[in-house]
Chain A
Amino acid sequence: MFGVNLASTLKMQRSVSSLNLNLSVRARLISAGIQSTRDLLHVSPKQLSSETGLSQQEALEVLQVVSTGLGGASISALELLQREEEEPKSIVTFCSQLDTALAGGLPVGKTTEVCGTPGTGKTQLCLQLAVDVQVPPCFGGVGGQVVFIDTEGTFLLQRVTDMAAAAVQHCALLVEDDEQRVAMTTFSVETILSNIFLVCCHDYLELLAELHLLPDFLSEHPRVRLLVIDSLAFPFRQHFDELSQRTRLLNGLTQQLIAMATNQNLAVVLTNHMTTRLQGSKSQLVPALGESWGHAPTIRLLLQWAGSRRLAAIFKSSGHMDSTIQYQITSEGFRDADQLEQP
Chain B
Amino acid sequence: MVVLREGMCPGLEEGLVRDLRAADIKTVEDLVSSDMEELAQKCSVSYKALFAIRRVLLAQHTAFPVSGADLYEELLSSTAILSTGNPSLDKLLDSGLYTGEITELSGGPGSGKSQVCFGVAVHISFHLKQSVIFIDTTGGFTASRLLQMLQTETRNTEEQMEALQRIHVFRLFDVYALLDCLYSLRGGGLQQASVGGGSVKAVIVDSVSAVISPLLGGKPNEGMSLMIQVAGVLKTMAKDFNVAALVTNYLTRSGGGEVQPGLGVSWSHIPRTRLLLERVDKAAVFSPSSLRSATLIKSSRQRCHIRAEFDLKWWSRSEDTSSSRKRKLEETDS
List residues of A whose CB falls within 8 A of some B CB. Answer: 8-9, 11-12, 14-15, 17-20, 32-36, 38-39, 42-43, 51, 69-72, 74-78, 80-81, 83-85, 89, 92, 100, 103-104, 109-111, 140, 244-245, 247-248, 251-252, 254-256, 258-259, 261-262, 279, 284, 291-292, 294-296, 298, 300, 302, 304, 306, 311, 313-324
Contact = CB atoms under 8 A, between A and B. Distances in A.
Interface stretch (B51-59, B67-75, B171-179): B171-179
Interface string B221-246: 01001100100010010000000000
Interface string B17-34: 000000000110000000
Given A245-B217, A248-B217, A318-B118, A304 B164 contact: no
B167 interface: yes
B164 A78 contact: yes
B324 interface: no
Given A38-B2, A103-B326, A110-B139, A319 B145 contact: yes
Contacts of A77: 121, 134, 143, 146, 164-165, 167-169
A18 B176 contact: yes
A279 B141 CA distance: 33
Given A71-B184, A251-B213, A259-B173, A318 B142 contact: yes
B178 to A, nearest CB: 9
B167 A76 contact: yes
Main secondary structure of the interface of A (DSSP, over half): mixed
A51 B176 CA distance: 25
A216 B100 CA distance: 42
Interface string B274-297: 000000000101101110000000
A257 to B, nearest CB: 8
B329 to A, nearest CB: 5
B314 interface: no
A291 B254 CA distance: 11
Contacts of A103: 144, 326, 329
A321 B312 contact: yes
A315 B117 CA distance: 18
A66 B332 CA distance: 44
B217 A80 contact: no
B133 interface: yes
B172 A8 contact: no
Interface string B120-156: 0100000000000110011111111111000000000
Contacts of B183: 9, 12, 14, 18, 70-71
Given A77-B134, A78-B165, A300 B173 contact: no
A32 B225 CA distance: 20
A315 B110 CA distance: 7
16 contacts: A9-B183, A17-B225, A39-B3, A69-B180, A77-B165, A85-B332, A100-B326, A252-B214, A255-B173, A256-B173, A262-B173, A292-B250, A295-B108, A313-B288, A318-B142, A322-B289
B5 interface: yes
Contacts of B288: 313-315, 321-324
Q: Which of B7, B147, B213, B326 has the most CB of A within 10 A?
A: B213
A85 B142 CA distance: 11
B157 to A, nearest CB: 11
A104 B26 CA distance: 64
B312 to A, nearest CB: 7
Given A77-B167, A248-B217, A71 B144 contact: no
B1 interface: yes
B142 A84 contact: yes
Interface in B168-215: 168-174, 176-177, 179-189, 193, 207, 209-211, 213-215
Contact of A295 (B2, B146, B210, B285): B210
B15 interface: no
Nearest to B161: A78
Contact of A304 (B115, B134, B147, B286): B286
Given A103-B326, A315-B110, A291 B252 contact: yes
A75 B139 contact: no
B314 to A, nearest CB: 12
Contact of A292 (B177, B185, B252, B329): B252
Residue among A110, A261, A302 with the most chain B CB within 10 A? Answer: A110
B216 interface: yes
